[in-house]
């Protein structure tokens, strides 16, 4: 597959703080790619460099075939950005806001179509200041989509969403990915990354410490299973045999039986503390 983003040896320092320390990253066109990491890990700095909003100290960076340190208007028209915080035009209506931003792009999507896609049709005539926090966040997403981007950056996109709205947004992202949009997602919701992402990178101490699909990240798929029942817990590579032995011991149903493997959260917490 053709690469949308290629990064090698990226570094960025703020005074005595090494925010990014030789980071490597490749993101393919058309994939949903999640970047996870604790505050201060370097993920926000990395994404801002990819977006062309922050300079780098060293390293090779290519985004849609161009160096984001030298952005052109044509290049900027090909990317969409949903920032973690945004200053909106509070006195404009939702429709006026989206139509206004659509004029910045050479081939924008229809404003009402985008408003419907983010679930704001019934609020299209309301002033932005009248919206709830979650609804304002949907306006931010609409502004990121209206330019018909090839590459969409989403920084904590569902902050402030209730569970139903978050699920609706996930459907939107899956539809965009189906249409071929490359999506780079930063999120603190691990369930969101697991649901949406084709691949996940965990960033800690300015470097990628693990990379892979959510199901296998950090050896998750081959980790020992935990078999628990009312009288004990064991970790084993052969959970089926363990359950069968317990069945024979109890002569049938095993009280309180559960079989689990490490969750994405378990793996993530281990990686940011002790990188592999």
For position 270, what pLDDT does the model report?
85
Checking if the pLDDT of 7 tops 80, the result is yes
For position 87, what pLDDT does the model report?
62
Mean pLDDT of 47-68: 96
Is residue 252 in some structural domain? yes
Task: Read off the pLDDT band of 21 (50, 70, 90).
Answer: very high
Number of domains in the chain: 1
Antiparallel, parallel or unpaired: β 17-28 and 207-212: unpaired
Is residue 2 in some structural domain? no
For position 246, what pLDDT does the model report?
93
CA 110/CA 98 separation, integer angstroms: 9
Q: For residue 262, is it left (φ>0), alpha (ψ between -120 and 50) or beta? A: beta
**Alpha helices, H only, the chain:** 43-51, 73-76, 94-102, 111-117, 133-145, 163-178, 190-196, 239-250, 264-273
CA 211/CA 271 separation, integer angstroms: 11
Checking if the pLDDT of 275 tops 70, the result is no
Is residue 225 in some structural domain? yes
Checking if the pLDDT of 77 tops 90, the result is yes
Lowest mean pLDDT among 31-35, 39-43, 209-213: 39-43
For position 1, what pLDDT does the model report?
60
Q: How many residues does the chain have?
A: 276
Mean pLDDT of 199-222: 89
Is residue 150 in some structural domain? no
Render pLDDT for 151-172 as a digit per residue (tens, 0 to 9).
999 988 887 677 887 888 888 8
For position 81, what pLDDT does the model report?
92
Checking if the pLDDT of 97 tops 90, the result is yes
Checking if the pLDDT of 20 tops 60, the result is yes
Antiparallel, parallel or unpaired: β 17-28 and 3-14: antiparallel
Which DSSP category does 237 fall into?
A: S
CA 138/CA 160 separation, integer angstroms: 10
Antiparallel, parallel or unpaired: β 207-212 and 79-82: unpaired
Residue 260 domain boundaries = 219-273
Is residue 231 in some structural domain? yes
CA 235/CA 223 separation, integer angstroms: 9
Asked whether 33 and 61 are in contact (CB, 8 A), the reply is no
Mean pLDDT of 72-90: 82
Report the chain's mean pLDDT, rounded to a whole number. Answer: 90
Is residue 260 in some structural domain? yes
Note the pTM of the prediction, 2 decimals.
0.84
Is residue 235 in some structural domain? yes
């Amino acid at each position: 597959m053709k690469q949308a983003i290629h990064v090698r040896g990226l570094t960025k320092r703020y005074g005595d703080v090494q925010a990014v320390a030789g980071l490597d990253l490749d993101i393919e066109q058309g994939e949903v790619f999640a970047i996870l990491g604790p505050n201060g890990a370097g993920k926000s700095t990395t994404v801002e460099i990819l977006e062309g909003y922050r300079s780098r100290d060293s390293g090779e960076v290519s985004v849609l075939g161009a160096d984001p340190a030298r952005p052109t208007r044509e290049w900027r028209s090909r990317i969409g950005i949903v920032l973690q915080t945004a200053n909106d035009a509070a006195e404009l209506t939702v429709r006026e806001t989206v139509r206004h931003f659509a004029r910045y792009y050479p081939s924008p999507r229809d404003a009402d179509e985008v408003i419907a896609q983010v679930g704001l049709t019934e609020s299209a005539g309301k002033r932005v200041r009248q919206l709830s926090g979650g609804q304002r966040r949907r306006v931010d997403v609409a502004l990121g989509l209206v330019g018909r981007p090839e590459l969409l950056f989403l920084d904590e996109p569902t902050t402030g969403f209730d569970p139903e709205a978050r699920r609706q947004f996930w459907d939107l992202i899956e539809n965009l990915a189906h249409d071929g949009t490359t999506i780079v997602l930063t999120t603190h919701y691990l369930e969101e990354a697991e649901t949406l992402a084709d691949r996940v990178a965990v960033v800690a101490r300015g470097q990628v410490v693990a990379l892979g699909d959510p199901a296998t990240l950090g050896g998750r798929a081959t980790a020992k299973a935990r078999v628990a029942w009312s009288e004990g817990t064991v970790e084993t590579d052969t959970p089926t045999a363990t359950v069968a032995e317990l069945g024979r011991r109890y002569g049938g149903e095993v009280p309180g039986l559960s079989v689990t493997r490490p969750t994405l959260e378990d793996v993530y917490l281990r990686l940011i503390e002790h990188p592999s």
